Amino acid sequence: MKVLITAGPTREAIDPVRYISNHSTGKMGIAIAEAFAAQGAQVTLVLGPTNLGSIKHGIEVVNVQTAADMYSACSALYDSCDIAVFSAAVADYTPKTVADQKVKKKEDSWNLELVKTVDIAKELGKRKTHQINVVFALETNNEEAHAIEKLRKKNADFVVLNSMQNPGAGFGFDTNKISIVDKDETITNFELKSKTAVAADIVQHALALLKH
């Protein structure tokens, strides 16, 4: 069983010293990678910049920086995988141009033109044949409606939904509180747990689908 997992943030360069990113630490994705590895899976983790320590032995780690880097790595690995878990917090936009030199502070305001990045889960969802695709949705409002929309748009088998409204969930915590939204729009709610325990729930859900 081959499993592809994305985790962590991406960094989109503005100039040689500045970038656009987010608060993702990669903890959840790494926990999922380790949970799959514990089940005997051959795991490849495509990991954005993170300050976390070493990853458990037996997991192949592909380090990337930008959304384009992550898409390129995932595109090369996707067709041969059995399960793909898109848990990374990929930047939605990237600067249209990257300055060669540090941009100096001159004007009172500065307009930075951004362009959309590739939606990795959506693009790879178009190539889906036998794979189980798992996508993540971190929402602040209308959580379930947004998760169902993402489920359809990305051709996913289920969505792992996080709400920023839940204490102890989201970026930076060692705990998480999720709901799983299936293809038939059935929603299963879980209690607040350690990210290790949450990862085990996600892995078991994916494995159950793979067996069918």
Report the share of the chain in percent with pLDDT over 90.
Answer: 78
CATH class of the domain comprising 2-96+112-211: alpha beta
The beta-carbon contacts of 71-78 under 8 Å, at least 24 apart in sequence, are: 71/117, 71/118, 71/120, 71/123, 73/46, 74/4, 74/6, 74/46, 74/120, 74/124, 75/123, 75/124, 77/4, 77/44, 77/46, 78/4, 78/124, 78/127, 78/131
Catalytic residues: 22
| CA–CA separation, 63 and 149 (whole Å) | 30
pLDDT tens, residue by residue, 120-156? 999 999 999 999 999 998 876 788 888 999 999 999 9
Q: What is the mean pLDDT of residues 65-87?
A: 98
Would you kindly state where each structural domain of the chain is located, as residue ranges?
Answer: 2-96+112-211
pLDDT tens, residue by residue, 145-203? 889 999 999 999 999 998 767 666 666 678 889 999 999 999 999 999 999 999 999 99
